[in-house]
Every structure is written in structure tokens, then in C-alpha cells.
Amino acid sequence: MTTLSADEKKQAYGVIGKNPLRHDGTDKVTGRAQYGADIRFPGMLYGAMLRSPHAHARILSIDTSKAEAYPGVKAVVTANDLPDVESKIAELGEGTINLRHQSNNVLAKDKVLYFGHAVAALAAINPHVAEEAIALIDVKYEILPPVLDVRKAMQADSAILLDDMRTDELGKKGDIPSNVAAHSQEQVGDIEKGFQDASVIVEREFFTSMVHQGYIEPQNATAHYNPDGQITIWCSTQGSFGVREQVAEILEIPVSKIRVIPMEIGGGFGGKVGVYLEPVVVLLSRKSGYRPVKMAMSRADVLAATGPTSGSYIKVKMGANEAGKITAVQAMLAYEAGAYPGSPVGGGMGVMFAPYRIENALVDGYDVLVNKPRTAAYRAPGGSNAAFASETVIDELCERLGMDPIEFRLLNGAQEGDRRVDGPVYGRIGFVETLEAAKNSPHYRAALEGPNRGRGVASGFWYNYGGRSSASASINSDGTVSLLTGSVDIGGTRTSLAMQLAESLGIPAESIRPSVADTDSVGYTEGTYGSRTTFATGWAAYEVGKALKEKLLERAALIWETESGTIQFENGAFSFDGKQMTFAELASQLNETGGPIVASAGVRPEQSAPTFATHIVDVEVDPETGKVDILRYTAVQDAGKAIYPDYVASQMQGGVAQGAGWALNEEYLYDDQGRLTNASLLDYRMPVTLDLPMIETIIVEVPNPGHPYGVRGVGEVPIVPPPAALANAIYNAIGVRMAILPMRPARIVAELNRQKG
Amino acid sequence: MMNRKVHVQAIINGEEVEFLCEPRQSLLEVLRETLGLTGTKEGCNNGNCGACNVILDGALVNSCLVLAVEVSGRAVTTIEGIATARGLHPLQEKFIAHAALQCGFCTPGFIVAAKALLDQNPNPSESEARQWLAGNLCRCTGYDRIVRAVMDAAQAQEKLL
């Protein structure tokens, strides 16, 4: 179901808004699609990685001699093979990273900072020999006390992870070592006055555990170092140009020496932006006498050493007056960054109150090091933790005020012209439209009956990123157009990009042949992250279409002996003075009219437009076991314009599923020594078919005035509301407020027992 | 003599195949590394994700949990053997039509698992389909479209029969 806002005139599109079959569908249902681990080269070696069994330790020595002597081993590397990269901040998809930290994360230098931290790697003739040999590397450690709790890590007497870390305290560097990498603050109005004006105040604490992106394809990378110094990398990444930059910086090689060929990618969700294996296989290839080297992570390594997003401690206080208007908000967020700074606490701070018009706010955020893997972006990074806290506090305010949760949100909902707590003033946004659609949805209008059943509502916000994208296209003589972009296709973007080019040319989506190009074949393109690909690369595709059209008009003018300005081009056909020529007819005459037509475009929209979501969920809780069954789920979201609606809906459904896993089951479990105890997909429990119902979607379209087709990003926001929506539903079902994620059965039973006394 | 290779003869996707493998090699590894059948995916290598599903003598198995030497004299169907000379299998067509994939990595496992389901239950209910497919992890779609595609493929197959 698609709801168009009344004030937006529906534009008649020929291609956009339809659901053509995706161009890579057949390859992906037949097993032909080539993912990173699928490639093989003659003489290829297989890599293996030695990882730290300790959460926090000093490396005293590494003896690789036995491994080097082992038959079949061709190269061994440690951090000593990496150049000493200086501290330098680089942009890294929805966050920044210090390249020295990135280098030390790829191979530990002096200290290991988490269980699973890479220490040494080797390449051998097959994966079994590699595994046997890796066990022969002898590392001597001095074990240090692990820092595992975010609040303890902030205390002055905590063990310190990075001796040179000084807190960035509201922009000023501290002078003593600390695990707090940064303290930031957002402030508006006067919270003291605001809380005085409140008739209801709710203040609560929340705790969430680290969770993993959970892509099904483990990280993998293959490299070939040519004797002439040219390097080729085949890998599973969200951003090929980002891999090229990171490898170049870490190995101190010019980017032009590196060609990154992005293979099909088996999921990323933010976790495949930073490099792990790529610099290592490059070193191994060089050291093994220029043989290609492939390395893939085991699932246990994926869980222990890549990805997760922050666990967090969050304290929220919100006040509202008798009419239900929010008068003041205050929050403190402390996010686990893992071993190196860079948690998404800033994202959380901004997301937390973004859906609402707020005059008085004070929000403090802390980026805190702990002996756990360096966190990576995960779908709306930092957002779900924050919204879990704020949106459950809002539910409690609604309860105390006797207000319907959607009415409360309508009353307080941000609109165009309102200022976000972190500064920006909203342009045209569609939050209220999502609330109206939720309110009028079949789900919200249906009564929910039965014992231990409850309904919850929560909303969410995401910024959406813009960024740099390129596209190139050439016209084929049969009337089709080949489209090259640098955007890795994780979820159908070949087609959502092809559709935008097709629309601008007035030809069917099927007439476009979209490909994902490598770093030598297309202009610079940022990764597929930040909900940016259909927005920014789609914009590049649109620009390419415009350029192709200009050139085609010139050719038609040549044929008809007129000026190109006198020719009409509509619905894929050229016309002039009663004469007509289809796109395909003109395409077949390119040779005679001047040769090939090729066009390229590079775009750099700084920012996309924000998006909002409102979710409704019904649950049934078994009070004996604490198990939560999701009975019905409806996700409402503003897509701006849904270019490829089935895949927009699928993003929404996937976000709900991940959010539900985060809410109910998923968590990193560490023992008191900081060893990850559930590093398997049996024990790290992601949702399966039985855990979810069908997920209803309502796409609202409030076009983004800053995009040719009105696109806002769609991928990230759907993961923001689920934990809060589920917590609110659980409360509605059994009367207990859950403040810890995940809300696993044992925790629910414990809360029920506590309530009974 | 751990690394002495064993000669194995098996029927893979309807054709007789011979290969040499080490006793420690899984069927998954041999399919991918020795036979080049890389449509079968490795997601966890310990039986928890279903990305490596194949059909072994009519039974759905995780090929990471089967040793290659165990398939001697037996019949294996991988994702590469699901389509026929006539074209895509209804499951494959419906996965595309229902947008039942995003990244596509879990898709071969799901299609093989669903094929095994439809082979023994040509008209599953939604709950039967969900029960059967609970051994396959998808992180992108939330399963909605996968379940719909499988149900719809069952209908399409009924019509063909």
C-alpha cells in the first residue's frame, strides 16, 4: 500500500515505482553469482590467521619459525611486516577511523585488545595445511586485566587499553590516560525550566549488549601482488574504493597501484566497510613470491573479531505537561567503542529525540574503549540502542498521561522548520505522515484480544547520507544501455539504479544492463552504506541519462537536418516535424552519425533527506517461560519516493527482523576474562522463519525535494523502532517494563517474579 | 598417512562424477574447491546456517557436516542441479518474482531446502514451510518473501503436474 501525501502531486513515472525483475536475479537463484570466496586461481594459496586467546595482553614475542618451516607454508606475516602508519583520521562510511588503529586492528602491534584480535597470518598450499601451521606460531603474552563493562571502563581506576588515549572533552584534550575517547554534548533551551513545566516526568536506565550485523557470508579477500607492484584485490566489501584507500594507507602504497574488484557480497549492514583481511593477503601474496592468496574468516572469527555494534548504558529523563507536550529531555549515553575509538554514540545522540519538537534538551555522549572487538557500523549505527531508551520512556509518559501513543507522537511530532536537538532545522519531512498511516492502518484499527497479549508502538529516525558517486553508460546498437557504477549491489541496487537511468531515457528497465565496476573502471564511488546508493548513485545514473539524451538529440538532429532543440523526446521516442524515431532506431544509427555515445557523471550531494518510521507490533508472552511470540508486525516508513517498491519493502522487513533479533535474542556473551562464549550461529541466536510472522509494510511517500526523483534513503531506519516497539508490547501484554536488551525469556521471567515480589 | 587421497565416485546433479579427496574434507569443501560447484555456500561450516544445503539421496543435508568420502555411490543435488534443461525451476522463478532475496548468499541453500520440502510435501501450509526452513538463516529479508515464494512455487508446481 502506498500513501501519497495530499500536498505532493503524483508524478507520472514510466519505470519508477514498478517492480521489474532484478537484473541479477537468475545468477543469484542458480548459484552462478560469484561471491568473494568462490574465486580460484592457478597456484593460489590459502591464508589462515592466528588470533589472540586473551582479551587484553601485551605481546612479548612472536616466534613464527616452526610455522615457516612447516611443509606447504609459503609466507608468514605479523605486524612487523606492516609500515608504522601514523595517526591520521580517515572517513570510513558513517564514521571516521584513525588509520594507525585500523592498522593495529588488522594485525596487533604491541598489545592485543580483544579476544580474537589478529596476531599473525600465513599462506599455505591448502586451508588444512594453513590451519595446522598457524597452531605452530608461538606467541608469549603478558596478560592484563580485561576491561569489559562500559561504566567501569570510564572510572579513573580502570585498566587502560591505549596508553596514549586522552579524552576529547567537549573539544578539549584531557591530560591523563583514559578509556573515554570522547565526551560530546548537545544542548538546547533550558532543561531546568522545562522540567519545572512538566506535570509528568519519567527517568529510566537502560542497558544493551553488543550485537553483530550477522551477514551470512563471512569476510573474505583474495589478493595478487604482481612483480611490477600492481596489486589486485577481490573481496567482499560494501565499498571497493574504501578498500583501495584503506589498503593504500595501511601499506603506504599509492591508490593507483591497487585495483579492487568487488565480488558479489553476502550481506554487510555496515560491517563490511572497514578492512580486516585485505592488507594481510596483499602482504602474503608479495611474501610468497607473488602468488595469489585467498583468506576467508570462519564464522567464529567473524563473530569474535569483526563487526559488532556497541553495547550501551543509557539514562533518559523526559517530562511532559498535562496536555501531553514534551517540555524537556535529558539523556546520557555511554557506548562501547570496543578496542579502538569510534562507537556510534553520536548517531544515537541525534536519533534519540529527533522525531519530536523539543525546546529544552541536554544530551551527553561518551565513546568508551573496552576489551571487545572494534565496533563497526550496523544499520542506522547507534540508533536502535537510543530509540529503545527514549521510545519506551515515551510509552511510559503516554501511560501516565492516559494518551494514545500515536496521538502523543502526533502532538509532539517534528515537522518542516523544527530544529533537531543536535542543530539542523528540518526541511520537508514525513514523520507525521508515517504516524497518520500507522493510525489508519488495518493493524492499528484491529482489536487485540487474549491473555498475555499486548501491542506496542515506537518510532524512529535516520539521517541518511549522500556522498560521492559515479556512473558511466554507453548506448548499444540494439537499443539497450550498459550502465557501470561503483556501487556494490547488496540488495537489488543494480535494478534501482538502472530504473532511474531508464526513467530519464524513457526506456524500460529491462533495456539497461547494469554492472558493478571495479576501481579502475568507473569514477570514485563511496560504499553502499548510509542508505545512500539508490539516492546518490541513482542521482548519478539520472545525470548520465540526461547527458545521453543530449547526445542522442544531436544525432537525431543530424539525421533530420535540424537543430537538436527542435526535437521532442518523450516516452523513449524522438519526434520532429511529423517524423518519429524510437530510441532503438536511433541507437542502431550511431555509427553513421558520429560513432559511439558514452556519458559519465559524478555527483556529490552532501546530505540526503532524513526519514522516519513508525512500527506497530502485537506480541504474546508466555508467563511461564518468558518467551515472546510476535503475532503481527506492521512497519510504516517514509521512502521519499520508492523507486523499486518490492525492495524498499524488503529493506523494511529485513530491518524489522534484525531489530527483533536485537530485541529478543541476540547478544555477545563474554566470560569474566573477556572470552566470547557464544561465537557460533547456534549460540548467537538470530531470528529464523519460526520467530517471525509475515511483516506488513506501508510505504509513505513524501518526496525529498533535494533529489531528482524524490528519493530518501530507506535501508537503515527500519532497524531503529523494533526493540522499543517490542518492549512496549511486552509491557502492554504482561505489565513489566524491560530495560535490558535482549529481552530474552529468562530476563522476562525474572522481571515477572520481581513484580510478584 | 593423513593426506592420502581417496577415490570417490558419485552422482552429482544427475551425472557420474569421480574425484579424489582427503578423508578430512567435507562434501562442501570438495563441491566448492575440487568440483567448482561454488553455488553451495559456506556461511558457518558447522551446520547452523543452511547456506550449504544439498540433497543427498533425497534427504536435505548440510554439506559442511558430511564428509566427501561418505557420498561414494550416492546421489547429490546442488543448487546447480535445480534448474532443468527447460529453464528455471518454479522455486527459482518465484524467488525472483517475489523479491525473495537481497544479497542472494543464503538463496541457494533456501532453494535447495525448499526443493527438498516440495519433493515430499507438494502443498505445504505456511507453518509447515516455516518449520522446514527454520534451519536456514537469511539476514536480509525477514523471511516474509521467502515463505511466500515457496508457497507460490508449490502452487505453480501443482499446476504443472
Count of domains forming chain B: 2
Q: Confirm if A238 and A316 have CB atoms less than 8 A apart.
A: no
B130 CB within 8 Å of a chain A CB: yes
Interface probe for A, chosen from B143, B145, B147, B152 (most Cβ of A below 10 Å), is B143
- pLDDT > 50? residue A4: no
Task: Give the Cα separation of A430 and A428 in Å (integer).
Answer: 7
More confident residue, B129 or A3: B129
**Per-residue DSSP letter, A124:** E
Residue that terminates a domain, selected from B30, B61, B81: B81
Q: Confirm if A326 and A318 have CB atoms less than 8 A apart.
A: yes
Count Cβ atoms within 10 A of the Cβ of residue A449 and give its class: 0-12 exposed, 13-18 middle, 19 or more buried. Answer: exposed
Q: Tell the residue number behind the cell numbers 550481506, with chain if given.
A: A267
Fold for the domain defined by A466-603: Aldehyde Oxidoreductase; domain 4 (3.30.365)
* Helix, strand, or coil (residue A446): coil
- pLDDT > 60? residue A378: yes
Type and span of the H or E element at A637: strand A628-638
- DSSP secondary structure of A59-94: EEEEE-HHHHHSTTEEEEEEGGGS--PPP-EEE-SS
Quick check: do A428-464+608-757 and A466-603 share a fold? yes
Cβ of A31 within 8 Å of Cβ of B24? The answer is no
Instruction: Specify the pLDDT at position A208.
Output: 98
Cβ of A19 within 8 Å of Cβ of B51? The answer is no
Determine the structural domain holding residue B37 and report its residue range.
Answer: 6-81
Instruction: Give domain status of residue B20, yes or no.
Output: yes
* Strand positions, DSSP E, A279-359: 293-296, 312-320, 326-338
B70 CB within 8 Å of a chain A CB: no
A44 CB within 8 Å of a chain B CB: no
Task: Give the Cα separation of A307 and A339 in Å (integer).
Answer: 12
Residues of chain A found within 8 Å of residue B108, distances taken between Cβ atoms: 29, 31
> Full-prediction pTM beyond 0.90?
yes
Residue in B36, B107, B146 nearest the CB of A28:
B107
Q: Are residues B70 and B106 in the same domain?
A: no
All structural domains of chain A with their residue ranges: 428-464+608-757, 466-603
Instruction: Give the CATH number for residue B33.
Output: 3.10.20.30
Fold for the domain defined by A428-464+608-757: Aldehyde Oxidoreductase; domain 4 (3.30.365)
Instruction: Give the CATH number for residue B96.
Output: 1.10.150.120
Instruction: Give domain status of residue B130, yes or no.
Output: yes
Enter the C-alpha cell of residue A290.
607473488
A213 CB within 8 Å of a chain B CB: yes
- Please report which confidence band the pLDDT of residue A1 belongs to, taking 50, 70 and 90 as the band edges: very low
pLDDT tens by residue, A500-546: 999 999 999 999 999 999 999 999 999 999 999 999 999 999 999 99
Q: Are residues B67 and B123 in the same domain?
A: no
- Please report which confidence band the pLDDT of residue A2 belongs to, taking 50, 70 and 90 as the band edges: very low
Instruction: Give domain status of residue B1, yes or no.
Output: no
pLDDT tens by residue, A206-244: 999 999 999 999 999 999 999 999 999 999 999 999 999
Q: Are residues B34 and B53 in the same domain?
A: yes
Average pLDDT of the residues of chain A = 96
Task: Give the Cα separation of A455 and A444 in Å (integer).
Answer: 9
Instruction: Specify the pLDDT at position A89.
Output: 74
Q: Compute the average pLDDT of residues A672-682.
A: 98
Instruction: Give domain status of residue B70, yes or no.
Output: yes
Q: What is the dihedral of CA A421, A424, A426, A431, to 10 degrees?
A: -40
Q: Are residues B73 and B96 in the same domain?
A: no
Task: Give the Cα separation of A341 and B34 in Å (integer).
Answer: 43
End-to-end Cα separation, chain B, in angstroms: 52
pLDDT tens by residue, B124-144: 999 999 999 999 999 999 999
Task: Give the Cα separation of A221 and A208 in Å (integer).
Answer: 32
Q: Are residues B66 and B41 in the same domain?
A: yes
Beta bridge partners of A600: A472
Q: Are residues B76 and B95 in the same domain?
A: no
Cβ of A216 within 8 Å of Cβ of B106? The answer is yes
* Helix, strand, or coil (residue A131): helix
Q: Are residues B40 and B72 in the same domain?
A: yes
Q: Are residues B40 and B95 in the same domain?
A: no
Residues of chain B found within 8 Å of residue A650, distances taken between Cβ atoms: 99, 102, 140-142, 145
Task: Give the Cα separation of A752 and A748 in Å (integer).
Answer: 6
- Please report which confidence band the pLDDT of residue A11 belongs to, taking 50, 70 and 90 as the band edges: low
- Cα-to-chain-centroid distance, residue A59: 33
Query: Rounded to a whole number, what is the distance in Å from the CA of A719 to chain B's nearest CA?
Result: 12
Query: Rounded to a whole number, what is the distance in Å from the CA of B23 to chain A's nearest CA?
Result: 12
Helices (H) and strands (E) counted in chain B, each on its own, are: 5, 5
**For A171, phi and psi rounded to 5 degrees?**
95, -10
Q: Confirm if A607 and A718 have CB atoms less than 8 A apart.
A: no
Residue that terminates a domain, selected from B81, B101, B125: B81
Enter the C-alpha cell of residue B43.
556461511
Task: Give the Cα separation of A659 and A471 in Å (integer).
Answer: 33
